[in-house]
Chain A
Amino acid sequence: EVQLEESGGHLVQPGRSLRLSCVASGFKFGDFAMHWVRQGPEKGLEWVAGIGWDSGSLGYADSVKGRFTISRDNAKNSLYLQMKSLRPEDTAFYFCTKDINVGVLPPAVRGFDAWGQGTLVTVSS
Chain B
Amino acid sequence: DIQMTQSPSSVSASVGDRVTITCRASQDISSWLTWYQQKPGKAPKLLIYAASALQGGVPSRFSGSGSGTEFTLTISSLQPEDFATYYCHQGNSFPFTFGPGTKVD
Stretch at the interface among A8-16, A55-63, A70-78, A80-88: A55-63
A60 to B97, CA, bound (A): 11
Q: CB within 8 A of B89: which of A108, A110, A115, A117?
A: A110
List chain A residues, Cβ under 8 A from B91: 106-110
B30 within 8 A of partner (CB): yes
CB distance from A120 to the nearest CB of B (A): 12
Contact check, A107 vs B89: say whether CB atoms are below 8 A apart: no
Q: CB within 8 A of B44: which of A45, A62, A107, A109?
A: A45
Which interface residue of B30, B49, B93 has the most chain A CB atoms within 10 A? B49
Using CB atoms, name the residue of chain A closest to B93.
A106
Contact check, A111 vs B95: say whether CB atoms are below 8 A apart: no
Instruction: Say whether, besides A110-B34, A110-B49, A47 and B44 are in contact (CB < 8 Å).
Output: no
Q: Which A residues have a C-beta under 8 Å from some C-beta of B?
A: 37, 44-47, 50, 59-62, 95, 100, 106-113, 115-118
A44 to B96, CA, bound (A): 14
Q: Which B residues have a C-beta under 8 Å from some C-beta of A?
A: 1, 29-30, 32, 34, 36, 38, 43-46, 49-50, 55, 87, 89, 91-101
List chain B residues, Cβ under 8 A from A61: 95
Using CB atoms, name the residue of chain A closest to B99.
A44
A108 to B87, CA, bound (A): 19
Instruction: Say whether, besides A45-B87, A62-B1, A108 and B32 are in contact (CB < 8 Å).
Output: yes
CB distance from A22 to the nearest CB of B (A): 12
CB distance from A36 to the nearest CB of B (A): 11
Using CB atoms, name the residue of chain B closest to A59.
B94
A122 to B97, CA, bound (A): 23
Which interface residue of A47, A106, A111 has the most chain B CB atoms within 10 A? A111
List chain A residues, Cβ under 8 A from B30: 107
Contact check, B101 vs A111: say whether CB atoms are below 8 A apart: no
A110 to B30, CA, bound (A): 12
| 5 A-B pairs in the complex with CB atoms less than 8 angstroms apart | A37-B44, A109-B49, A110-B34, A111-B50, A115-B44
Q: CB within 8 A of A110: which of B45, B95, B96?
A: B96
